[in-house]
Structure 1
Amino acid sequence: MTYSPPSPATAPAPPFGRALCAMITPFTDSGALDLDGAQRLAERLVAEGCDGLVLSGTTGESPTTSDAEKTDLVRAVREAVGTGASILTGVGTFDTRHTVELALAAEKAGADGVLLVSPYYSRPPQDALEAHFRQIADSCGLPIALYDIPGRTGTRIEPDTLLRLAGHPRVVAVKDCSYDFLAAQKVISRTGLAYYAGCDEHNLALYAVGGAGYISTVANAVPAHLRSVLDAFDAGNTAEAARLQQRATGLIELTMSAGLPGTVTTKALLTRLGLPAGPVRAPLLPAGRETADGLLAAYRELTGADA
C-alpha cells in the first residue's frame, strides 16, 4: 500500500514553497560581489525546480557581506527571477537594532520574507531571545522564518519558545538545523509553523512527518534531483522518494560533513561545473584539489553527467 498525500484542499501551501535553495553568494576573482553571477545562478536554480531562494544565510556567507551588499543581492535576484520564486533573505545578527534595520531594508528591496538566526556570541536566555524575535516581527511587515542552528549560534530556540512565537502572525516558518527530530515533530504537530529541513540528510524524513520542504545547500548543485524526492513523495511513491534521497547521500556527505563548511565545498563544486561561484571570503579558505575532485566524482555518480 502506498501513502496518499493530503489534497491541496486540506494541506496548506508552504509560505515560501517546498524546494528552497540556500544559495551561495557569488564573488568575482577579486572578491567583489558578483551580481551578474548571482542572477545567472538564481535563474538556473529556479529553472531546475527551486520554488524559492534563500539569500545571505550561512551558505551565502552573510557574516562577511556588508549591509549594502545584502540589499543589492536581493534587488538583483528579484530582477532575475521576477515572481517565479520566493526570495527569503537572512537578516539575523547579534544586535536587535541592526537586525530590524536589515529587515526593513530587505522589505524595501523586494524580499518575500526574512530569515532570523538566533543572536550569536551573546547567547541570550530564552525570554530575551523571544523578545528579540518579537521586536523584529513587530517592526517589519514581512513574514518571518526562524533559523534554529545552535551548533553555530550557541543558542537553541527551545520548543516551548517556538510554540509561543507561533502565535505571532508574522512568524510563519522554521529552518530546522537543531538535529532534534522529536522537538521538530512536537512543534509541527502543535502549530501551523512551516518546518523546513536545514540539513539535507533530513529533507525527506522531515517532509514525511509534516514538514514544509527544505532549505538546501546541496540544491546549489543538484536542484532538480532534490526536488524529485519531494515530487515522488507527493505522488504517493514513497519507495521511489526514499531511493532518490538515498542516491544523494554521497554528495550530501561530502558537501556537508567532510570537515569543511558547506559554503566552501559548494563553491568548489560549482566552480568545477563552470557555474557562478568565485572564491570564499576570509576567514574561510578554498577547498583543496582532492576535495574538489571528490565532490565532482560524487556529482557525476548522482547525475550521470560527464561535466
Structure 2
Amino acid sequence: MELNETYIILDGFMDIERYRALYFIIMFTAYVFILCSNCTIVCLIWIHKDLHEPMYLFIAALLLNSVLFTTAFYPKILTDILSEKQVVSYSTCLFQWYIFYSIGGAEFWLLMMMAYDRYMAICKPLQYPTVMNKSKVNVLLAVAWIVPACQVAITITAASHRKLCTFIFRGILCNSTVYKLHCVQSAALHVWGLFVLLNFTFVPLIFNCFTYTRIFIITTKRGPAVRRKALQTCLPHLVVLFNFCWLTTFDVLLARLDTELPKMVRVIMSFQLILYHPLFNPIIYGLKMKKISTHLKRLFCGGKPNKVLK
C-alpha cells in the first residue's frame, strides 16, 4: 500500500459543524499568541548580550521547540477545521507522529541540560565558566535535539511498513496511538517504544530530581540568601518540568491502555498539548526570570531597565 494513497479519518473533533467558527477563532488566536510570545523571548535572548549565558540559551532552545511544534501542527489543524471532512494522509500522519515525539523528547532532554547547568552554576561556581563554555553548550544543545530525533526516526521507519486495517483515528493530531490502526501489533515496535519512552522521559526525570535535590541540599547549608537566589532561578524550570510530565503521563496512558476514553477527555488533553503548554513556557519564563522580565518591560513599557543581578 503506497503511503500517498492511504488516508485516515480524524475523529477527534466534537460537533465541528456547529462550532467550526469558534474552533477556528480559538486555534488561530492561540497560534498567533504562541508564535509572538515564544519568538519575542527568543529574540530578546538573541539580541541582548547580558542574556548570552547558558541558562538563557537553553530557555531559547526550549521556546524554539514550542515554535517548531506548533508550526508542524497548527496549519493542518486550522485546515481541518475549515474542511468538510477531516482527513490526513498516512505520510503526513507519520510526520506528525515523528515531530510530536522528537520535539517532546528534545524538551525533556533540554530540561535535563538546564538542570545540569543550574547544578554547575550554583554548586560549583568556580568550575562553571570553564565547564559550561560556548562549545560545551553547543554540544549539549545538539545532543538534546539529535538523540531523540534519531530514535524516533527508527520508530517511524518501522511503523511506515505496517499495514493498516483501520482508517479512523480517534484524535485531532497523530501520535503513537496510530499503531492501534495496524492490522497486526508489532512486539518489536512495542519494545522499542518502551525503550524510547524510558530514554526520553524517565532518565531525564530521574536526573532532574537528583540534580535539584542536590542543589537544595547544598544551598540549605550555605544560608537563606543563597537558597533564595537558587530558588529564583530553579523554580521556573521545575514548574515547566512538572507541567510537561503531567501532559506526557496522559499521552503514555492513552497509548498503552486498551480502554477507549471519552471523546471529550481526548479533546481537552489534545488542546492542553497544542494550546496550553506552548503558551505556558513563555509566560513562566517571562514572568519569573528577572532578566527576561526586565527586558520585556523595557520592550513594552519603554524606559531603561534597572540593573539586575545574575
TM-score under structure 2 length normalisation: 0.26
Higher helix share: 2
Highest CA radius of gyration, 1 or 2? 2
Bigger RCO of structures 1 and 2 (CA < 8 A, at least 6 apart):
2
TM-score under structure 1 length normalisation: 0.26
Higher strand share: 1
